[in-house]
């Protein structure tokens, strides 16, 4: 399926929005995938994979019984896998949360399916969420500095857990932007936080996601921030490129910014995954015939 001549990826795709009423019957369809494929083609993105949220599947309740998961876990994970494998031409991935203390249970869930890759996310610190109004960590009594520290420590642990192939939106904690009244970005050089995660990332060999989703949030910046990405690259970390689209219109969105950032930092290759094996492919720009970006 993959030709090495032209390669941009979008591996962090959701075929449906996050709303509870977005059912598989409505969104896990070949016609919906065609909409994503068409949008990707317009952006010159050839390598597509889907990574639905693990907590939308009942099997996730064997791992964690957070109230949000209990509210959203309705679907059959194996039906999702069968749909992707048998009916469409997408790589099969999943977005799985890092839940400290139950790594073995998550490993069982993930290991029982033949995913091409697993996108690992830190959305929660304990029972509190970073990027949701419900279960809000920002009103849990902790300072922004404490939340940032806890987030990056968890991120490094997520990498080290070995559960995941790609580390999703690696500085998600900035999602609300720098000026949000209750959720501000701490002042000063943020590398003091990135340093809490970098050893785990470097030593685990996990790929770091460059996600344009941050451009669509109040943060208005790609995940990870350039300084964090630079630290990852200096540590020899490989890059996976994604949009985290929940709608066809967002597939490959902001890639001109991402490619500019990657080019400026000397990134020439992206990760490609198949059955949880990774290889690197040269980046080429849409409309060119194999010429790597300069």
Q: What does the binding site for Zn ion look like in residue numbers (CB under 5 A)?
A: 95, 121, 244
Least distance to Zn ion from the beta carbon of 240, Å? Answer: 13
Under DSSP, is residue 124 helix (H, G, I), strand (E, B) or coil? Answer: strand
CA atoms of 26 and 24, how far apart (whole Å): 5
Least distance to Zn ion from the beta carbon of 12, Å? Answer: 5
Least distance to Zn ion from the beta carbon of 11, Å? Answer: 10
Determine which helix (DSSP H) or strand (DSSP E) holds 24, and give its type and residue range.
helix 24-27
75/95 with CB nearer Zn ion = 95
190/245 with CB nearer Zn ion = 245
- Structure token pair of residue 125: 């610190």
Determine which helix (DSSP H) or strand (DSSP E) holds 254, and give its type and residue range.
none
- Structure token pair of residue 181: 């009244």
Least distance to Zn ion from the beta carbon of 129, Å? Answer: 11
Please state the φ and ψ torsions of residue 13, each to the nearest 5 degrees: -120, 140
121/284 with CB nearer Zn ion = 121
Least distance to Zn ion from the beta carbon of 83, Å? Answer: 18
Please give the radius of gyration of the chain, using alpha carbons only, rounded to the nearest integer: 18
Least distance to Zn ion from the beta carbon of 51, Å? Answer: 6
6/239 with CB nearer Zn ion = 239
Q: How many CB atoms lie within 10 A of CB 86?
A: 7
- Structure token pair of residue 171: 């500085």
129/202 with CB nearer Zn ion = 129
Determine which helix (DSSP H) or strand (DSSP E) holds 84, and give its type and residue range.
helix 77-87
37/246 with CB nearer Zn ion = 246
Question: What does DSSP assign to residue 112?
Answer: T
Least distance to Zn ion from the beta carbon of 172, Å? Answer: 7
Q: Which of 123, 149, 154 lies closest to 136, judged by CA? A: 123
Residue nearest Zn ion, Cβ-based: 121
Q: How many CB atoms lie within 10 A of CB 293?
A: 14
121/185 with CB nearer Zn ion = 121
Name the maximum alpha-carbon separation found in the chain: 54
């Amino acid at each position: 399926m993959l030709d090495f001549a032209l390669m941009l990826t979008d591996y962090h795709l959701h075929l449906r929005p996050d709303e509870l009423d977005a059912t598989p019957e409505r969104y896990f369809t070949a016609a919906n995938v065609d909409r994503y494929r068409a949008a990707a083609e317009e952006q010159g993105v050839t390598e597509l994979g889907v990574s639905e949220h693990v907590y939308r599947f009942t099997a996730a309740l064997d791992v964690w019984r957070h109230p949000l998961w209990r509210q959203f876990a309705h679907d059959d994970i194996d039906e999702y896998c069968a749909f992707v494998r048998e009916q469409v031409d997408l790589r099969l991935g999943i977005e799985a949360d890092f839940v400290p203390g139950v790594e073995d249970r998550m490993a069982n869930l993930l290991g029982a399916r033949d995913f091409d890759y697993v996108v690992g996310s830190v959305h929660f610190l304990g029972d509190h969420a970073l990027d949701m109004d419900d279960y809000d960590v920002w009103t849990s009594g902790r300072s922004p500095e404490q939340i940032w520290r806890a987030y990056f420590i968890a991120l490094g642990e997520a990498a080290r857990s070995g559960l995941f192939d790609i580390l999703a939106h690696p500085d998600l904690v900035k999602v609300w932007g720098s000026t949000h009244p209750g959720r501000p970005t701490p002042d000063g050089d943020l590398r003091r936080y990135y340093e809490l995660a970098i050893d785990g990332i470097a030593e685990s060999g996990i790929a770091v996601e460059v996600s344009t989703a941050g451009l669509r949030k109040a943060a208005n910046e790609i995940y990870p921030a350039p300084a964090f990405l630079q630290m990852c690259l200096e540590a020899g970390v490989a890059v996976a490129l994604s949009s985290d689209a929940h709608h066809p219109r967002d597939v490959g969105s902001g890639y001109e910014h991402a490619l500019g950032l990657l080019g400026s930092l000397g990134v020439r290759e992206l990760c490609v995954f198949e059955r949880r094996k990774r290889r690197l492919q040269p980046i080429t720009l849409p409309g060119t015939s194999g010429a790597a970006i300069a």
